[in-house]
Structure 1
Amino acid sequence: MHADDFRRDNYGVVSGLRDGGYSDDMTLAAIAGAHKRLITSPPVAVFPHPLASDLSFSRYWNYLRKQTFVLESYISRVNWLMNRGLFSFHCYLSWGFVAPYFMAAVHIAAALQIYIKGYSYEETTCTTSGLLLASCLAICTLTELLSMWNLTRIEVQLCNMLSPEAPKLSLDYYNWSLIFVALLVDNFLYPISAFRSHFSQSINWSGIRYHLKNGKINKIERNRGRGPKFTDLGGKHLYGKKGAPPKATFLSSLARSLCQWHQPKKYEV
């Protein structure tokens, strides 16, 4: 996909997003796949996104709803098939990730109950196969966390090398126990959020509620001042610290316009 594809609205890229389109990345991927076009990306593009320190469950839930709501928007048959496939595949993998830990907890609880009541394994019908599987799951979990730690270490080093002027990132701030719990909670709640988005067909995005119909935005309700003031989990304000866009003076607006007018365009020869 090139810039001319957007300027000339080739394959309905611009019109599809303008006429009720919602998810730009999924829509663009569907259009490119349907017309055998390629989407290129830089080989190295790592952007650290630190989380805010005042996160709440409602704020996290709204963020998760945003991630699943985009799968309900589409502009073509190919786009709809891609979203339905991701919807089903992600729900299957999410609960497939959580289910072994639930079963392991059941086996461990049963073994602890037998131990507390003083029964021997010969006196019960319980077998040790469940505890063996729980032990294998624990080994796999440690291997997974070790792999995540190594990957995060490489990404932190890469960020520090590519941006030496920025504050140095460190692994000291990572609590891997909480990260593991977050993985379980996120994968457990993802299918619930996906079904919630599927049946509600609406989302509150930073105080603006979007309603979908046949995969496209058909209604927008603006409730400034009553919706959440955060746009994501990074603690950014939508309209500044006071909840309103900063007022610019006439001279500053004029200076900004002159700077933009003198700046050469990339497509000019």
Structure 2
Amino acid sequence: MIELRTAGEIDEMQAAGDFVASTLQALKARAAVGVSLLELDAFAHDLIRKRGAESCYLDYTPSFGSGPFGYVLCTSVNDAVLHGKPRPYRLENGDLLSLDFATNVNGWVADSAISMVVGDARAEDLELIALTERALDAGIAAAVVGNKIGDISHAIGTVAHEAGLTVNLDFGGHGVGRTMHGDPSVPNNGRPGRGFPLKPGLVIAIEPWFMRGTDELKMDPDGWTLRSADGSRTAHSEHTIAITEDGPITLTRSVR
């Protein structure tokens, strides 16, 4: 069911957006060569406890995962793009790291993701990250009253296609509110003028994620981590936004 939020409720959601954004920035500053994915998760967990927030991931058991996720942070490295389960792996120079983080603060959820290079960066990795960020900006720009979900999807997909990339539609954006994943679905490619009409009070996560050489995924034995089927590099960017009469509000706005 698609739910619309009042202006007062959107104001209340800002606390969750601010916390998610500040946590991702703290994690970005902490990610360095030699730091393990488990250390990043533990750091995020500590920030959640100090804030009095609740993790959306810890006990999450969706149909696409294998059992409870068990951690508070998704850590995807290089060819991993989504749902990367933290592990003892220590970051190496040049690793492309994507972090996805969602928490509940005072009953409201915000969800965001960033990608970065640890240490020395390859030009093509920076370009891929920039593509997801540009697609995210395009999707947000299309999230205005009078448009439809398909207009957001088309804006994202256009950025990908102009760069010569294909787009996987197995996972994409989604409604956000009292829970992390709700209606409507926001695919990363689509036809303009199609789908649910965008109305004031709709709160959604828009999340372009691209793979350099394929649009097919494979799953790790951990039952969660999704990688590009051909081993090519990947990147992921995400913001939670609220649609209003005056334009979209990016609740996780301080993320980059």
Indicate whether the TM-score tops 0.5: no
Q: Which protein has the bigger strand share?
A: 2
Query: If the TM-score is normalised by the length of the shorter chain, which range does it land in?
Result: under 0.3
- TM-score, reference length from structure 1: 0.26
Q: Which has the larger radius of gyration?
A: 1
Q: Which protein has the bigger helix share?
A: 1
- TM-score, reference length from structure 2: 0.27
